[in-house]
Amino acid sequence: MAVSTESRHGMWSSRWLFVLAAAGSAVGLGNIWKFPYIAGENGGGAFVLIYLACVAFVGLPIMMAEVLIGREGRQSPINTMRALVQQHHRSPAWVLIGWMGVLAGFLILSYYTVIAGWALYYIFEMASGAMTGASGDVAASTFNDFLADPWQLLFWQTLFMAGTVFIVARGVIKGLETAIRWFMPLLFVLLFVLLGYAVTTEGFQQGWDFMFAFNWETVSGDTVLIAMGQAFFTLSLGMGAIMAYGAYVPSSASIGSTVAIIAGLDTLVAVAAGLAIFPIVFANGLEPGQGPGLMFVTIPLAFGQMPLGALFGTLFFVLVSFAAITSAISISEPALAYLVETYNAKRSRVAISLGVISWIIGIGTVLSFNLWADVHIVGERTFFDFVDHVSQNIMLPLGGMLIALFAAWGLPKTVVGSQLGLQKPWVNVVWKLLCGVVAPLGVAVVFVATLFG
């Protein structure tokens, strides 16, 4: 199978469009609630330094590997791996990288659209003024009642999925690029408007200290593991999305500097989100929490107690929805591109078909919070817990490790050198060490600790 020089799906019109697209893929719900909280709970500024080191030594090499493989193959992850394996006479087993990434992304999309639908619901909940002056009990019962209603969850899941399908069906230029051109700049504008609002609150210094005070005494081996896991998962690695987007990158773009900018933007959003959220939480005397409790109970409660809270609370959930949609369209791209290439199918029909199948699987996640809450697939895991565990904790780390190993040891040195611009021998040695040894080992440690810890 010949490797082409240009993707049949189209190409990003510029390097910066790829930067925004990949940053949009990386920036998701986890950036907004997870990073700020785990930073504050695991050493503040000390954790941030450890996290940045993990990004440099684990996240960046794997992201560079995904982009270079995608750009070299110029096809969907599955067909890219198949083409490169045939061209360079490697074991066909490497093609499993593509299959695993596509399947993991598809499973993640099925429940991601459900949770993203919650953010859509809260746009209208905040805008209506329902949370203005609400008590903690009201905020909690609002969320619990929402989760208990499968029809409500299904409606908002369907709405979010329809938006995702509409965008990806229009192709790289008309769909992905157009969405990215609007959503990413608006995301940054909204984020910094909320940050500016947070600076004026009484809790800003407390929020700053929570995230950035250097608390080395709380740093342990677990802290490094958490930082390494966050560095891997936050960059949207291992599911083929970055490889698929890499197939549309112009040949003139520098992969190394481009990936560094993407990682920088991803970290910037996570930090800014924390500085926008926690001052408002602390200003109202509330306790920071992690996950849905922070996002859908504590934050609406905090905004509800503040002047202009309905307005800024609405803007916050619009921001969350923008972050979610840019991630969702990237997750769906690998499977869609493969089916279009393999069966020469019309992109819009494939997008609708995949959307419907993913929507049907997502019903299992919807029911996991109400009618199937007591139905356990394996052990104590509900349907949602099981799908999340298999995709996030097993398939993505394995995919990330294999991508790094294939780029470092499976591709000829000339291919890697050409894609990354590695001209000096010592640079190639450093690349091999980081991508072929350090990054896979780091992800392997996180994988084992997560699976058996």
d(CA 408, CA 410): 6
d(CA 236, CA 257): 18
The structure's pTM equals 0.92
Q: What percentage of the chain has pLDDT greater than the value 70?
A: 98
Confidence of residue 1 (pLDDT cuts 50, 70, 90): very low
**How many C-beta atoms surround the C-beta of residue 346 within 10 A?**
11
d(CA 33, CA 291): 6
- Report the Cα 432 to chain-centroid distance in Å: 26
- CA dihedral over 351, 352, 357, 360, signed as positive or negative: positive
107 vs 13 pLDDT, higher one: 107
44 strand-pairing partners: 214
Pair 57, 438: CB distance under 8 Å: yes
What integer is the mean pLDDT of 222-245?
90
Place of tokens 């709970």: 41
d(CA 79, CA 195): 43
d(CA 158, CA 156): 5
Place of tokens 């982009």: 67
d(CA 208, CA 199): 10
d(CA 234, CA 322): 16
Pair 370, 148: CB distance under 8 Å: yes
The 10s digit of each residue's pLDDT in 172-204 is: 888 889 999 999 999 899 899 989 989 988 899
The H-assigned helical ranges of 74-149 are: 77-87, 96-127, 136-147
Tokens for 321, please give them: 């929805």
**Is it the case that residue 3 has pLDDT exceeding 70?**
no
Tell me the DSSP string of 126-139: HHTTTTTT--HHHH
- Rg of the chain over all Cα atoms, to the nearest angstrom: 21
- Residue 432's pLDDT is what? 94
Please give the angle made by the CA atoms of 26, 31 and 32, to the nearest 5 degrees.
Answer: 135
Confidence of residue 242 (pLDDT cuts 50, 70, 90): very high
Pair 334, 244: CB distance under 8 Å: yes
214 strand-pairing partners: 44
| Residue-averaged pLDDT of the chain | 91
The 10s digit of each residue's pLDDT in 108-165 is: 999 999 999 999 999 999 999 999 998 889 999 999 999 999 999 999 999 999 999 9
Helix (H) or strand (E) holding 367: helix 347-368
Lowest mean pLDDT among 60-74, 288-302, 368-382: 288-302
Please give the angle made by the CA atoms of 399, 367 and 323, to the nearest 5 degrees.
Answer: 50
Please give the angle made by the CA atoms of 33, 390 and 118, to the nearest 5 degrees.
Answer: 35
**Domains in the chain, CATH or no CATH each:** 15-452 (1.20.1740)
